[in-house]
């Protein structure tokens, strides 16, 4: 199993550009999330999904969209990039409700100029 994979590993954008951060997991997990981590900070929840076709907002959803058309994939879309979105983005997944272990992807480092 590859676990949770994220692409790209690093991206530079100009203000106003849009892009999609990809996340995929091969563990057949129902639950997936996107977090951002700013320097010296903890992770903050952007959006999450409890199954295919079901998504909801987290703590900091503004400027981001998500969709969950399959169990495996959970892409994060930046609609119009802003310097405040410069961060490291982590995707995570979890199995059934009795398992509390979140598996994190390696992260995408995003720089918005």
- Residues forming the site for another protein (CB under 8 A): 31-33, 35, 40-45, 48-50, 58-59, 90, 94, 97, 100-107
Query: Is 2 or 100 the residue whose CB approaches another protein more closely?
Result: 100
Contact (CB, 8 A) for 34 and 74: yes
Minimum separation from the CB atom of position 65 to another protein (A): 17
90 burial level (CB within 10 Å; 0-12, 13-18, 19+): buried
Ramachandran region of residue 2, left (φ > 0), alpha (ψ -120 to 50) or beta?
alpha
The candidate with the shortest Cα–Cα distance to 31, out of 61, 56, 64, is: 56
Query: Is 59 or 79 the residue whose CB approaches another protein more closely?
Result: 59
Query: Is 80 or 111 the residue whose CB approaches another protein more closely?
Result: 111
Write out the two tokens for 1: 């199993």
Minimum separation from the CB atom of position 48 to another protein (A): 4
Minimum separation from the CB atom of position 6 to another protein (A): 9
Minimum separation from the CB atom of position 13 to another protein (A): 21
């Amino acid at each position: 199993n590859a676990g949770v994979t994220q692409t790209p590993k690093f991206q530079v954008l100009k203000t106003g550009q849009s892009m999609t951060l990809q996340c995929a997991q091969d563990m057949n997990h129902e639950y997936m999330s996107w977090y951002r981590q700013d320097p010296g900070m903890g992770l903050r929840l952007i959006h999450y999904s409890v199954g295919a076709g079901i998504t909801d907002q987290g703590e900091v959803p503004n400027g981001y969209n998500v969709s969950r058309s399959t169990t495996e994939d959970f892409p994060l879309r930046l609609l119009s990039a802003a310097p405040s979105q410069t961060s490291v983005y982590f995707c995570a997944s979890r199995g059934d409700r009795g398992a509390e272990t979140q598996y994190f992807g390696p992260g995408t480092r995003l720089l918005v100029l």
